[in-house]
Structure 1
């Protein structure tokens, strides 16, 4: 989400509510698996988006991106951002090519509860530098998940995320941040992937019941971005590649629940209770 200067207190969730969010999270994970399977050279992003829309319809889930308000309502159920496009790319008839990297972001609401996740997909064989960009971005998200039950304040985690990115020679996007999530897709608090004077003023305590959509956006060179004339697509100003990954995660008394983890991290027939949900140690380590 676009960074705002108006902080609000987090909205904490109960264990029952977190379990309900996991049901939405499983659908989002399955939708992204569909995207990964389809994302091949010659396939258009519009074709992938249509498949996801049909998937949500079959499962009576509400896609949260389509119609999202802006200067023009967002026209699709997924954001499809290629190469220098950072986030909010609009699916189109553009065909994927060997060597592209595709960022796919999608969210849905099921039975009143939301989940949001993004992955970056290499199309065929990508350059070593693009592959390293994706790997570092995935590592940055995993750092946040691993540290969530070990720190007291979000800024402590954000500083480690930023350091990991910058030590790799890349840069963190600062114009867009993660967010709280629950009955609405965008709730408080804002979840930056970096630390500066303003984000320290908006810092929040890490406590059970906190549910966050953590989404590092990492540019290969400079952090500056701009929005194209379609009013949605965010691109790097220097037109160098960018990567983006995201998970919806919950902090509980028993650890971190990865709400949007792949279904393989949870037995299909397991009861939806906090003890049966995947934690950061039992969830899939693949964050894309």
Structure 2
């Protein structure tokens, strides 16, 4: 989200450990917010939970004040429901209902270092095709994370995401938005699309830290930006899913900085 241009920043092992602190806070915040998702809750309720947890644990929300085409972003979370893909502003009148899905995108700064992650959560029981969409999108994220290895190429990441999604059925992979470098700023170079050619692009090296974030639509890939300058929706009105983690490229393999438990085993399964 919020693509911004700057140079590629390499981190030392000690700096990656500092980013892990921010990443863990993001992961813990997402878990807390996801647990609060239920029918009748508003997206503004979720935003308040997130801001309280981040500030109460020594962090600062990354998203508040990010410049936009019309106004700065005003909230801690992006809470995108159903056909909303990314960047939707939390609102008191946006009430979650049974069968909805909500993408919760969260960023936090701790001691000058950023973490960024997202999860899409079902509200109660959802339709089987929507549940599968969430599963496919989350698995495609892990395929992309596993491709973040020293000596690989940038195109390997998008290729891993794209090839998995294409093999699962007729889904629309959002191409205008994607992952990014991250570190002392939330959005840094390079931009990381969710489609790609294996072996193409710059070589991946130790110290690079990326946010990988597949966005996959149940229908076509087309998108539309709403008048608020932030909210991005599917052109055909069908649901979308969005998952994201921050990952460091190290000589020992990918380190998923925003995951809480089980990520080493998950990466090893795909490695």
Alignment of 1:200-279 (within 5 A): 203-262=201-260, 264-265=261-262
Corresponding residue number in structure 1 for 2:175: 174
Pair 151,194 (structure 1): closer, same or farther in 2 beyond 3 Å: farther
Give the match for residue 29 of structure 1: 27
1:189 corresponds in structure 2 to 190
Give TM-score scaled by structure 2 length.
Answer: 0.92
- Asked if the contact 2:87–2:232 (Cα under 8 Å) also holds between the matched residues in 1, the reply is yes
**Aligned equivalents of 2:86 and 2:47: distance in 1?**
15
Gapped runs of 5+ residues in structure 1?
Answer: 266-278
Residues 72-101 of structure 1: per-residue CA shift (max 9 Å, x gap) = 111110000000000001111211111100
Question: How many angstroms apart in 1 are the aligned matches of 2:145 and 2:44?
Answer: 32
CA distance in 2, matches of 1:248, 1:30: 14
- Asked whether the 8 Å contact 1:2–1:177 carries over to 2, the reply is no
Quote the Cα distance in structure 2 between the aligned partners of 1:185 and 1:82: 23
Matches within 5 A, 1:6-25: 10-25=8-23
Residues 3-54 of structure 1: CA distance to partner in whole angstroms, max 9, x if unpaired? 68x7x65211110000000000111011101111110011111011011111
Secondary structure of residue in 1 paired with 2:116 = strand
The CA deviation at 1:121 is: 0.2
Per-residue deviation at 1:148?
2.1
SS in 2 for 1:117: strand
| Deviation sequence 1:47-79 (CA, Å, 0-9, x none) | 110111111121221111111111111111000
Query: Would you say the 8 A contact 1:3–1:175 is kept in 2?
Result: no
Aligned to 1:134: 134
Question: 1:75 aligns to what?
Answer: 74
Task: Identify which range, 86-95 or 152-161, moves more after superposition.
Answer: 152-161
Which secondary structure does the structure 2 equivalent of 1:145 belong to?
A: helix
Give the aligned CA root-mean-square deviation in angstroms.
2.0
Q: Distance in 1 between matches of 2:236 and 2:222?
A: 8
Equivalent pair of 2:175/2:195 in contact (CA under 8 Å): yes
Deviation at 1:151, TM superposition (A): 5.9
Give the CA deviation at 1:147: 2.4
In the other structure, the counterpart of 1:54 is 52
User: Conserved in 1, the CA contact under 8 Å of 2:62 and 2:108?
Assistant: yes
Count residues with an aligned counterpart.
264
Give the secondary structure class of the aligned counterpart of 1:86: strand
Q: Distance in 1 between matches of 2:34 and 2:267?
A: 19
